[in-house]
Structure 1
């Protein structure tokens, strides 16, 4: 997908316009591409990445601050860290097909760089920086509302949260306690897949149960449910 095609895609699917093609090209260009095309003018994405990182931090911070008025600093910080990370940005780069528009050197293309999470994170930040310069903060927020912020309502970020560590920190805030996870049951679905039922207990008293296709997933679900119950 060319930068021009990506601009059309962005306008059609997200109703976000982009005027400066050269600015977008810079955000999509890896250094190896420029090395292989010495006659082409322009920079690689790194300066825009620097800007986009700051824009994302500020945008996510403001969104969380307004969305969760009852959260303390620690909760807001943890959620921001969860949202602003490599796995998250790499995912959303693919959601909007940004990865298909990256301008790569031949060697990097052959090595699968187009699907490399660290590069997709960098390109996402560079693209946000370019969008900010081209259309302003309002356009950035408009896109984030349709992608990153919308994913909160779909519980997308739960997969990145360490609920077991969060539960341990909360339960041990006032001293050492005994937290245990136990397999309560194991069943098979009609499709022959396994489902584990795990309990989490505090000093022998069961707090919650969790279910998952693996013991690890069931423990995480139990910790998450315990946190929900404790907050009520």
Structure 2
């Protein structure tokens, strides 16, 4: 994809915000191209950011895992897993994207633009992961590791202070296991929209009863939304505190 001078100037401004200069500005640009843009123009899959998102997800998980492993030597494996999930959840990644104003630099399709795509949690979280993937390929592990640790300082501080409580699935599971060992299940009951812009609808069930329903732009988001609804339902009936 050809980058004109106006776009190059935009990317230079973004590099200033990131505090990282890319050797190949094309890969930074690709990290900001949403699949909806490519889909509307019939462009191939290697033009948009999903492959970089895939890579960035793995890089982010590795860096965060090593970081908290070293910083929290008294945490058990289970505690480390929960802590990492809290740090790299969709809400946290979307918040970091907003701090970096990534939404302003995204290239999205007309449909996404009309529906407020630049502010969508799932879209912003995906863009952050794609950015991490692009930075890893362009500048290497040391640069991307320093970037992630710097940006996640505030997220870690909030998690330590108990101000991050968006892992509704884990909370729901822990609360219900105190009552009964019965398994909690999440079922996708419906999917709507084209492949590049699906909405998933999920029900959470326990003891053959539907406790909550949720939706989201990813299965994970929909499951968290359903778990949140279930927690509200159970608290209203004083089943859990």
Q: Tell me the TM-score normalised to structure 2 length.
A: 0.62
Is 83-92 or 28-37 further displaced after alignment? 28-37
Partner Cα separation in structure 1 for residue 10 and residue 162 of structure 2 = 28
Answering whether residue 136 of structure 2 is matched by residue 136 of structure 1, we say no
Match of 1:86 in 2: 90
Match of 2:166 in 1: 160
Q: 1:105 to 1:143 in 2, by over 3 A?
A: same
Q: 1:141 to 1:65 in 2, by over 3 A?
A: same
Partner Cα separation in structure 1 for residue 117 and residue 137 of structure 2 = 26
Answering whether residue 10 of structure 2 is matched by residue 5 of structure 1, we say yes
RMSD: 3.4
Kept in 2, the 8 Å contact 1:82–1:157? The answer is: no
Partner Cα separation in structure 2 for residue 123 and residue 28 of structure 1 = 6
Match of 1:124 in 2: 128
Answering whether residue 20 of structure 2 is matched by residue 16 of structure 1, we say yes
Answering whether residue 52 of structure 2 is matched by residue 53 of structure 1, we say no
Partner Cα separation in structure 2 for residue 148 and residue 59 of structure 1 = 11
Cα deviation, residue 81, structure 1? 0.9
Cα deviation, residue 127, structure 1? 0.7
Cα deviation, residue 50, structure 1? 0.8
Match of 2:106 in 1: 102
Map residues 146-185 of structure 1 onto 2, 5 A cutoff: 146-154=150-158, 155=161, 158-161=164-167
Partner Cα separation in structure 1 for residue 62 and residue 37 of structure 2 = 30
**CA displacement, residues 92-135 of structure 1 (integer Å, 9 cap, x when unaligned):** 11111111110011221111111111111111111100000011
Partner Cα separation in structure 2 for residue 56 and residue 29 of structure 1 = 20
Larger radius of gyration: 1
Q: 1:51 to 1:3 in 2, by over 3 A?
A: farther
Match of 1:31 in 2: 35
**CA displacement, residues 162-219 of structure 1 (integer Å, 9 cap, x when unaligned):** 696698599x5xx99xxxxxxxxxxxxxxxxxxxxxxxxxxxxxxxxxxxxxxx9xx9
- Between Structure 1 and Structure 2, how many residues are aligned? 175
Q: Tell me the TM-score normalised to structure 1 length.
A: 0.64
Q: 1:10 to 1:157 in 2, by over 3 A?
A: farther
Partner Cα separation in structure 2 for residue 85 and residue 3 of structure 1 = 31
Unaligned runs of 5+ in 2: 1-5, 182-231, 236-241
Partner Cα separation in structure 1 for residue 90 and residue 45 of structure 2 = 29
SS at match of 1:19: coil
SS at match of 1:131: helix
Cα deviation, residue 30, structure 1? 1.6
